[in-house]
Amino acid sequence: DQQVKQNSPSLSVQEGRISILNCDYTNSMFDYFLWYKKYPAEGPTFLISISSIKDKNEDGRFTVFLNKSAKHLSLHIVPSQPGDSAVYFCAATSGWSGAGSYQLTFGKGTKLSVIP
């Protein structure tokens, strides 16, 4: 069963408008959330993250909001630019168990198209 869900496989937005990408999670142990961006023929690159002790984190045009009670987070891109067109992955991780590694649990991704 998927623990991180991105229910919208694709999203189209006009240049200059706001893009809102949504992500839901089911595992209450997750305490750190991340967004990765992936262009075709490239690997995912880190975009922004948020700890569960916060409800908002902002970095330039990108803001991530976390609603713990709803187990929901969203990524806002304002203003959207054509170069933002990519696949966006939501990911989550829980605390260090002392073994293995920090496991990243990913969503399936949302393909964002920003139309000029």
# residues near another protein by CB under 8 A: 26
Which member of 13, 23, 34, 73 binds another protein (CB under 8 A)? 34
Q: Which residue blocks in the chain are alpha helix, DSSP H?
A: none
Decide if residue 43 touches another protein (CB under 8 A).
Answer: yes
Which member of 30, 44, 84, 88 binds another protein (CB under 8 A)? 44
CB atoms within 10 A of CB 65: 17
Which member of 53, 69, 101, 116 binds another protein (CB under 8 A)? 101
Cβ atoms of 76 and 62 closer than 8 Å: yes
- Token readout for 45 is 């690159």
Decide if residue 93 touches another protein (CB under 8 A).
Answer: yes
